[in-house]
Amino acid sequence: MFLLDQSGSMSEGFGAASIPKAQGAADAINRLLQELILKCTKEEGIRDYFDVAIIGYGSQQGYAGALIGQKFVKLSWLGEHPNKIEERTRKESDGAGGIVENRVKFPIWFDPVASGDTPMCKALELAYEWVSEWITDHQDAYPPMIFNITDGGATDADPESAAKKIMSLSTSDGNVLIYNCHISGTKGSEILFPKSEEELPADELARKLFRMSSLLPQEVINLAEKEIAVEQNSRGFAFNADLVNLIKFLNIGTRTPELQ
């Protein structure tokens, strides 16, 4: 499940990049969905290893197109129903030390939006409702993973208790996992998967989001530690993430043993 801040401040620039934070976050989610579909595609078609939900808070928009109004959507449905397909340019190595630009198809399920306040608590309460329903029908599944992507503090209440209420939910395989990603409009030190509040600057929002984040399960640590510094007691939190680290954060967070 993706919870995405769609408040007005998401129209600002994404770190050193020129694109708005709303566009960068939407691109990261769409790219991840495309990669999940490719990983789960076998000879017989797309296997439904994942159900996926999106909750936008601010404008309250989630899926677009044929999937509008849906809660959890099976991966095969996503593969069959992108809202649109754009043609984009991707830079790649030419194998001889140079770079070439290739045109690629980029499916879009989720559009960038930036307006209004930041009702994070309302989004977390809705997430609790949806995830509780899903767990009732999937008691033996891998625990749901929730990714909260935001650039600011909640404007409707303190979200910490709502997040901890979600993390108390569980399947037979463990508790629900919450990953929080703080994205910034300025340059600065980026911190991925810290293990204590002391590793963070004296920023109450950052420390609150850290406390709202789950400890990384051992299997995620095992799968991620070859390419990034993760340790026992590392939490699913990214501070001051740029677009590159947001994509890395989402990729690591969604790794499960079944897809290796």
- The tens digit of pLDDT for each residue in 19-74 reads 898 998 898 899 889 989 998 999 889 999 999 999 999 766 788 788 888 899 99
**Residue whose structure tokens are 């508790």:** 175
Q: Which amino acid is at 33?
A: L
Question: Residue 75 corresponds to which tokens in the numbers above?
Answer: 């991966």
How far apart (Å, rounded) are the C-alpha atoms in residues 75 and 254?
A: 14
pTM of the prediction?
Answer: 0.89
Q: Is 42 exposed, middle or buried (0-12, 13-18, 19+ CB in 10 A)?
A: exposed
Predicted pLDDT of residue 12: 86
How far apart (Å, rounded) are the C-alpha atoms in residues 212 and 26?
A: 22
Predicted pLDDT of residue 135: 97
- Tell me the helix, strand and coil percentages in the chain, rounded to 5: 35, 25, 40
Neighbours of 133 (CB within 10 A): 12
Tell me which residues of the chain have a pLDDT lower than 50. none
**Residue whose structure tokens are 């290739």:** 102
- What are the structural domain ranges in the chain? 2-83+109-259
How far apart (Å, rounded) are the C-alpha atoms in residues 197 and 208?
A: 9
Predicted pLDDT of residue 55: 92
Report pLDDT digits (tens) over 195-207: 999 998 888 888 9
Which helix (H) or strand (E) covers residue 164, if one does? helix 160-167
Q: Which fold has domain 2-83+109-259?
A: Rossmann fold (3.40.50)
How far apart (Å, rounded) are the C-alpha atoms in residues 166 and 161?
A: 9
